[in-house]
Amino acid sequence: MSTVLFVFGTRPEAIKLAPLIEELRRDSFFNVRVCVTGQHREMLAQVLELFAIVPDVDLDVMQPKQELSSLAAAVLEKLPDVLRQFGPSLVVVQGDTTSAFAAGLATFYGGIDVAHVEAGLRSGDVSAPWPEEANRRLLSVVARYHFAPTEEARANLLREGVDPARVHVTGNTVIDALHATVARMPAEEADPSRRLILVTGHRRESFGAPIEEICHALATIAREHEDVEIVYPVHLNPQVREPVLRILGGIDRVRLIDPVDYVTFVQLMTRSYCILTDSGGVQEEAPTLGIPVLVLRDTTERPEAVRAGNARVVGTSRTAIVAEVTRLLTDREHHASMSKSSTVFGDGRAAARIAAILREG
């Protein structure tokens, strides 16, 4: 029996690792252990509850307005004891958060193999997304298994000199989580008299002026279109909440809500006319559901969605956002052309593929 330790800290990592945890738990070859860093607290708890994941250990590192260095240092300091306690032959991390990178580095220092799920995404710019682009590149240096979601991600890794035998294209596990969630959702009729625009945003490089621009754009859109309702689950980061609540609080047709559980969020996505986001996961889910997505960033590491016609990178300028949303609201053909469901990020069987590869060793 092989002990596999999952280490993660944030909402998207939990959503994307849940299908793999479930898959390995079904196979008696694996002894599955889960360590959460606690980088997120409430937002992680929502996902753990939904997927019935009870962590074996919680490093409890979250601080209000936490700094990246102290976060990374706390994980580096605390993980070695967990590695000694469980003695895993493999540690699985996901994506590009500081939890994932610090856990990968601590595992590498401990002489234990690292498996990196969602490997090979690249924006080509270490300042955007910041610090995630650096975190994922650094993980590619220390990982032994690289599970790339797409051929393009694989090509990025090979360009950086990663051994091709260690790179496996599996699809993204978020699509597994999405399919499982859609399957257990109650059927619902959308209200045809209201067009829902769903918004999320939390990127560090947008703090300050860009986030304020986004909010002013949303206020303009709500004012100009009486049949539109903007629903915005606001991330718990105080640097996001302060400007969003100040600029958009009390505006007609803008509903600011707390982060919602994954089932509720998927339901909101399926009912949306379009989605505005800087989220990585949402850029993968919206195309799968056939909902047009406008990316509130200057660059993306998920160009597959843009090429498939589901996503457009619009940046953070007020004028550009208002123009792109207005086009989607007024040009039905354009909206239809962005509404074709796409499988560029996977077919929902990524976890099974990863499990099969890990079993072979």
Catalytic residues: 96, 118, 132, 202, 204, 235
Nearest residue to 68 (alpha-carbon basis) of 148, 158, 135: 135
Buried b (16+ CB within 10 A) or exposed e, 298-322: bbbbbbbbbebebbbbbbbebebbb
| Region at 131 (left for phi over 0; alpha for psi -120 to 50; beta for the rest) | alpha
Least distance to ligand UDP, CB of residue 258, Å: 8
Q: Closer CB to ligand UDP, residue 279 or residue 358?
A: 279
DSSP string, 110-151: TT-EEEEES-----S-TTSSTTHHHHHHHHHHH-SEEEESSH
Q: Closer CB to ligand UDP, residue 155 or residue 260?
A: 260
Q: Rounded to an integer, what distance in angstroms lies between the CA atom of residue 88 and that of residue 309?
A: 42
Least distance to ligand UDP, CB of residue 200, Å: 5
Q: Is 233 in the site for ligand UD1 (CB under 6 A)?
A: no
Please write down the HEC assignment for all residues of 256-310.
EECCCCHHHHHHHHHCCCEEEECCHHHHHHHHHHCCCEEECCCCCCCHHHHHCCC
Picked from ligand UDP, ligand UD1, none, the partner binding residue 70 (CB below 5 to 8 A depending on kind) is none
DSSP-assigned letter for residue 187:
P
Measured in degrees and rounded to the nearest 5, phi and psi for residue 124 equal 85, 5
Least distance to ligand UDP, CB of residue 266, Å: 6
Cβ neighbours of residue 50 closer than 8 Å, sequence gap 6 or more: 261, 262, 263
Q: HSE of 113 in the Cβ direction (CA atoms, 13 Å)?
A: 13
Picked from ligand UD1, ligand UDP, none, the partner binding residue 150 (CB below 5 to 8 A depending on kind) is none
Coil, helix or strand at residue 244: helix
Q: Is 39 in the site for ligand UD1 (CB under 6 A)?
A: yes
Among 154, 202, 302, 312, binds ligand UD1 (CB under 6 A): 202
Q: Closer CB to ligand UDP, residue 144 or residue 271?
A: 271
Picked from ligand UDP, ligand UD1, none, the partner binding residue 260 (CB below 5 to 8 A depending on kind) is ligand UDP
Q: Rounded to an integer, what distance in angstroms lies between the CA atom of residue 241 and that of residue 244?
A: 5
Q: Is 69 in the site for ligand UD1 (CB under 6 A)?
A: no
Number of residues that bind ligand UD1 (CB under 6 A): 23
Least distance to ligand UD1, CB of residue 174, Å: 12
Question: By the 8 A CB rule, do 321 and 217 touch?
Answer: yes
Question: Between residue 94 and residue 133, which ones bind ligand UD1 under the rule CB under 6 A?
Answer: 96-98, 131-132
Least distance to ligand UD1, CB of residue 131, Å: 5
Q: Is 40 in the site for ligand UD1 (CB under 6 A)?
A: yes
The interface mask with ligand UD1, positions 236-255, x = CB under 6 A, is: xxx-----------------
Least distance to ligand UDP, CB of residue 174, Å: 6
Q: Is 60 in the site for ligand UD1 (CB under 6 A)?
A: no
Least distance to ligand UD1, CB of residue 242, Å: 11
Question: What is the binding site for ligand UDP (CB under 6 A)?
Answer: 11-12, 15, 174, 200, 202, 233, 259-260, 262, 265, 279-282, 285
Question: By the 8 A CB rule, do 339 and 292 touch?
Answer: yes
Picked from ligand UDP, ligand UD1, none, the partner binding residue 131 (CB below 5 to 8 A depending on kind) is ligand UD1
Span of 10-18, 73-81, 186-194, 224-232 interacting with ligand UD1 by CB under 6 A: 10-18
Q: Rounded to an integer, what distance in angstroms lies between the CA atom of residue 161 and that of residue 327?
A: 42
Positive or negative, the Cα torsion across 326, 331, 336, 338?
negative
Instruction: Write out the residues near ligand UD1 by the rule CB under 6 A.
Output: 10-12, 39-44, 63-66, 68, 96-98, 131-132, 202, 236-238
